[in-house]
A and B are shown apart, each in its own frame.
Chain A
Amino acid sequence: MEVLMSIVVGILISAAVYLMLSRSLLRIIIGTGLLSHGAHLLILTMGGLKTGAAPLLGENAKVYVDPLPQALILTAIVISFGVTSFFLVLAYRSYQELGTDDMDQLRGNDQYE
């Protein structure tokens, strides 16, 4: 199971890298979304995918799955939600102000404050 998940994570991250190297800003943001999916799945996989009950003590099971990676993922998910929503609004603002979403046209020109 871990091998399969690792391959899936690998595919997600390669897709993310491919998208982030493209010119359109929206594709880049989609790439960051895929990248965080890959990272979160990787935490879950690396914590171990052994069979066990959901980490609720009411289940009265002999074995539970590791609760720590789930807590880590939950933290990482909300953080990447916050950052992604900020990034999307920033992309919207910069599309309004700069009139392009083409990263090649966002090159530096020597205008200083």
Chain B
Amino acid sequence: MNNLIILPIVIPFLAGIILIFFNKNIKAQKLISAFASLLAIVVSGMVVHTVHVNGIQSLAIGNWEAPYGIVLVADMYASLLVLTTSIIGFTALLFAFSSITPDREKFYFYPVVQFLLLGVTGAFLTGDIFNLFVFFEVMLMSSYMLIVLGSSKIQLRESVKYILVNIISSALFVIAVAYLYAVTGTLNMADLSVKIADMGQTGILTVIAILFLVIFGLKGAIFPLYFWLPGSYQAPPAVITALFGALLTKVGIYSITRVYTLIFYHEPSYTHQILAWLAALTIIFGVIGAIAYWDIKKIIIYNIITAVGVILFGIAANTPNAVEGSIYYLVHDMIIKGALFFLVGAIIAVTGTSNLRKFSGLISSHPLLGWMFFIATLSLAGIPPLSGFIGKLKIIQGGFEAEEFTISFVVLLSSLLVLYSVMKIFINGFWGEPSNEEVYKEKSVKGMIAPIAILLVLSIAYGFGIESISPYISQATDTLLDPTIYIQAVLKE
């Protein structure tokens, strides 16, 4: 028994409940939520350490043993993502302190952020497929509220579409669980894996596997199912987009990874091949969007889609190097997307517009912001000393090992276009003749610098400290590549 691994779920839950009671007292809101997030970082750091020392931790809720009760399972993959989530949550709160308007703060912004973090960490830590659905709903309901909070016209319009898409995908999730239950008679992920290994992955199970790909693809925005994302993520303020971009789509990726490495791994020639090509198309459509727009928010939003494709290609290639690379890249991408959306938020706070054609020469009034943006773009594209490099390197290496030459080449080419798309922001927005220099100088971005700096320092440290991080990542890779480790830890056979 180990109650430590439930704490990353309990802390945001309790904090959210407590915060509901003082919704008008903004100072108390800020204090409590910052404290809870710091505590969550410490606790999830302890979870990572425990998993590293003692192997996979599993907790049977209420002492009902594995296939019958709900289990929480913290393997290294999940606990690394939980740690990253808590860090993103903390920095997003710091950013919100200086960027969210009081009318939003008074209407339960901070409690809902805590509930969002609860849903995300819960989805990472659960070992039960229906429980995963419930945590998805916790996360999605919080995101519905965050996307519409403030109710400007664009938010109302986009949230109608966002909610509709997610209702459909949730109904599909329920349907897929029903089918899976009818075939296997269990809901526990480890037990599902055992049952499916026993009966062999028959045709109907491959169909269910593809149905799960559709569901999690809708959440994670893969190629034919990403249509809702650019509009929806553009509507809310930058800090909410940062939370969404760094966390929500990543939960979809995590679920695809979990389902395809733990449960449906017996027919890779069919399922993983489809996944690989969808990943390639996701990358292509992502970069097309990223280079097409002159709106800074849209450019970064399309870069989310590209990164989703890159990470999923690593999973689809299914060689040790590729899977390891995609874990490196997933953690990197959560951090850097957070940083980039904060930077976009700061730029919009200074210029008042997200249209790249309407401002230039920002570097003369805000040099620090400019150089931070520059570092973030290099990191996003994967320039060697920074954090995006090692993940892409491993993914491409694994892609070549799996003899997926075309798609590996697409990944390489996409880096170039990603670099072009964000460099376009730097060159057109920060260089050139200063427009409205006087006005921009007055706009201070004081409170916004700290959270961006935290994430950038982390990103740089991640890039330079690969040696110290790699034991954790390779432990995560081992579990993903060998489901028996996971199954033994949960079912204790």
Q: A43-B174, A72-B130, A113-B237 are in contact. Are A106 and B163 (CB under 8 A)?
A: no
Q: Complex: how many Å from CA A87 to CA B168?
A: 13
B219 to nearest A CB, angstroms? 15
B47 to nearest A CB, angstroms? 27
Interface residues on B, range: 35 or more
At the interface, yes or no: A108 with Cβ under 8 Å from chain B?
yes
Q: Complex: how many Å from CA A46 to CA B179?
A: 6
In the complex, what residues of A have CB within 8 A of residue B355's CB?
Answer: 112
Q: A25-B160, A42-B175, A46-B178 are in contact. Are A111 and B154 (CB under 8 A)?
A: yes
At the interface, yes or no: B106 with Cβ under 8 Å from chain A?
no
Q: Complex: how many Å from CA A108 to CA B444?
A: 31
Q: A32-B167, A79-B134, A87-B167 are in contact. Are A94 and B157 (CB under 8 A)?
A: yes
> In the complex, are the beta carbons of A90 and B156 less than 8 A apart?
yes
A36-88 interface with B by 8 A CB criterion: 36, 38-40, 42-43, 45-48, 68-69, 72, 75-76, 79-80, 82-83, 86-87
B161-182 interface with A by 8 A CB criterion: 161, 163-164, 167-168, 170-171, 174-175, 177-179, 181-182
Give the A-B contact count at a CB cut-off of 8 A: 108
In the complex, what residues of A have CB within 8 A of residue B170's CB?
Answer: 79-80, 83
In the complex, what residues of A have CB within 8 A of residue B181's CB?
Answer: 43, 46-47, 68-69, 72
In the complex, what residues of B have CB within 8 A of residue A42's CB?
Answer: 174-175, 178
At the interface, yes or no: B288 with Cβ under 8 Å from chain A?
no
Could you tell me how many residues of chain A have their Cβ less than 8 Å away from some Cβ of chain B?
39
> In the complex, are the beta carbons of A75 and B130 less than 8 A apart?
yes
Q: Complex: how many Å from CA A90 to CA B145?
A: 10
B129-158 interface with A by 8 A CB criterion: 130, 133-134, 137, 140-141, 144-145, 148, 151-154, 156-157
Contact partner of A98 (CB less than 8 A), chosen from B145, B156, B234, B295, is B156
B132 to nearest A CB, angstroms? 12
Q: Complex: how many Å from CA A106 to CA B167?
A: 19
List 25 interface pairs A-B (beta carbons < 8 Å), by A numbering: A38-B175, A42-B175, A43-B174, A43-B177, A43-B181, A45-B178, A46-B181, A69-B178, A72-B177, A83-B141, A83-B167, A83-B170, A90-B160, A93-B156, A94-B157, A97-B153, A97-B156, A98-B157, A106-B157, A108-B231, A110-B295, A111-B154, A112-B154, A112-B234, A113-B348
Q: Interface on B for A, CB 8 Å cutoff?
A: 130, 133-134, 137, 140-141, 144-145, 148, 151-154, 156-157, 159-161, 163-164, 167-168, 170-171, 174-175, 177-179, 181-182, 187, 231, 234, 237, 295, 297, 348, 353-355
Q: Interface on A for B, CB 8 Å cutoff?
A: 20, 25, 28, 32, 35-36, 38-40, 42-43, 45-48, 68-69, 72, 75-76, 79-80, 82-83, 86-87, 90-91, 93-94, 97-98, 103, 106, 108, 110-113
